[in-house]
């Protein structure tokens, strides 16, 4: 994937939480790890604004959806790849 684009200039993505409330996110990256795809998003509002959110891309049933990453090792590995892609562009706090 070409990481030279202006990720922060992309259009907001709106996702609904489990209560049906919509939240706005900025797409930052798409990462492949162990034959699965993960998206890295940044909330544009709310308590997690400015933090990276990693979700697994789920294309089962013909629709595209996103699911939480339950495994801490997978979450860490995807986050490390994201940090490598954007080294020098973001300030990372672990």
Mean pLDDT over 4-28 rounds to: 77
In the three-class reduction of DSSP (H, G, I as helix; E, B as strand; rest coil), residue 78 is classed as helix
Distance between CA atoms of residues 63 and 60, nearest Å: 6
> pTM here?
0.79
Domain boundaries, the chain: 7-85
pLDDT of residue 13: 87
What is the C-alpha end-to-end distance of the chain, expressed in Å?
Answer: 24
Q: Which residue has the higher pLDDT, 53 or 51?
A: 53
- For 51, other C-beta atoms within 10 Å of its C-beta total 11
Give the pLDDT of residue 94: 66
Residues in Cβ contact with 3 at an 8 Å cutoff, skipping those fewer than 6 apart: 29, 85, 86
């Amino acid at each position: 994937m070409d990481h030279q684009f202006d990720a922060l200039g992309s259009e907001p993505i709106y996702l609904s939480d489990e209560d049906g409330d919509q939240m706005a996110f900025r797409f930052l990256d798409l990462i492949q790890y162990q034959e699965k795809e993960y998206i890295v998003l940044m909330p544009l509002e709310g308590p997690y604004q400015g933090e990276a959110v990693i979700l697994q891309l789920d294309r089962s049933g013909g629709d595209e959806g996103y699911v939480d990453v339950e495994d801490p090792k997978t979450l860490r590995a995807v986050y490390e790849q994201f940090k490598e892609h954007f080294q020098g562009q973001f300030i990372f706090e672990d």
